[in-house]
Amino acid sequence: MNYKIILLSLIWGVTVSYAAIPSIDDTPLADTNKTKHKYPNLVSDLEQLKWKNKVLAAQLELKKLKYKNQHYEEEIIYKKRLERLKNDATLAEVKAKKISDEMEIKKSEWELKSEQLEAELDIFKMQYERKRFTDKEPIYLPNPLVDDNQTLIISDRRIALDGVITSRMSERISRKINYFNNKDNSKPIFLVITSSPGGSVMAGYQILKAIESSKSPVYVVLKSFSASMASIIVTFSERSYAYSHATMLHHQPSSYLHGSSNLTEQKEDYRNLEKWWKYLGTPVAKKMGITIDEFQKEMYKHSSHGDWVEFASDAQKLKWVGHVVEHIEDTSVLVDNVDFKFYHKDKKRKKSSIELEEERDNKGKIVVRLPHLMPTDVYFLYSPDGYYQAW
């Protein structure tokens, strides 16, 4: 049994017993004397119990005090520990705030530095972009031939024709000619051919019709090389110009059709080629002052393959080109076309939608596949080594 319960039980028993016996102090003197004589041992026992009760009460109070003091000390220790923990938490919070403040300061410094670098980069980009542009304006002349017809001045009303002539290219060139006409039909338009082996007859025909329909005069300029359909465009044009050593090549159309075909189909292809040759070759021959048959014979006189090649200085005498110039001043070049991102290895230049890609055929030879033609269309281009191939 619990020590406290035993102690309390004893005190309660003694108290009850003591209370049941009449107090000597409360008993009359005669009765007291009688009790003492009658119960001498009982009185002695009662006195002892009385003092034991007081001793036990004192002991109980002492134990209570000790218990209270013991818990008081524990409470003090707990409070001190709690206070210490609070202080540690406060200190940790202060340290955390200090670290956070330091990080905010560093973040602000990084952001400021980043903004400064971005500002410097923007300035660099603006300076670079500014350097890409010239301070000059394009020159627009009603008659672009100057310096005794030795220099041709090209404005920004300029259209490039390079590579194989395709339907996509002809659409782009036709739209450009229409755009320049709608913007201002009093200023010349320049169709500049750097190098072209020719291409689709139908596509070339569209370009010729766009030139013919233009209210603005269209100047066709040859810088390096033209063959087949490209040479037809130069020769057909009323206003054509070339460097003296630019090369022109005229020849009969050749079939680029692949795959099996019966005799009837081959005859149909031949008749189609013959029609195009008469349609394109006759005006050239007429301009030269000869017949188409004479034109054809002259081709094979100059080459066993029928490829008649002339420099522009001699082509002018044959009326293949209108004017030979020594200088071409292109005032349309106002922006550096080299893009900044091209200098980075991880950036690849995007191909133009009109560019054709090289590939290997089944024999491992590098070739360029020409776009599929519309029905009755044929390719009129120069490719003696089979570099250009039709599907």
pLDDT band at 221 (very low <50, low <70, confident <90, very high): very high
Tokens of 249: 């090549």
Strands (E), the chain: 145-146, 151-154, 158-161, 189-196, 198-200, 218-227, 240-243, 247-250, 308-311, 323-325, 327-330, 358-360, 366-370, 379-381, 388-390
Structure confidence at residue 350 as a pLDDT band (50, 70, 90): very low
pLDDT value at residue 181: 95
pLDDT at 375 over 70: no
Give the whole-angstrom CA distance, residue 78 versus residue 180: 93
Q: Pick 353 or 245 by higher pLDDT.
A: 245
Given a cut of 90, is residue 317 above it in pLDDT? yes
Q: Given pLDDT bands bounded at 50, 70 and 90, which one contains residue 3?
A: very low
pLDDT by residue (tens digit) across 265-288? 778 878 888 899 999 999 999 999
Q: Is the pLDDT of residue 161 over 70?
A: yes
Alpha-carbon 357 to chain mean position: 23
Q: In this predicted model, what pLDDT tens digit does every residue of 8-36 receive, in sequence order?
A: 454 555 444 444 444 444 445 455 555 55
Q: What percent of the chain has pLDDT over 90?
A: 41
Mind listing the pLDDT tens digit for each residue in 328-344? 999 887 776 654 444 34
Max Cα separation, the chain? 182
Average pLDDT, the chain: 81
The 8-class DSSP code of residue 239 comes to S
Mean pLDDT of 299-322: 94
Within 10 A of 177 (CB to CB), how many other CB atoms are there?
A: 23
Task: Provide the whole-model pTM.
Answer: 0.61
Interatomic CA distance for residues 266 and 261, integer angstroms? 6
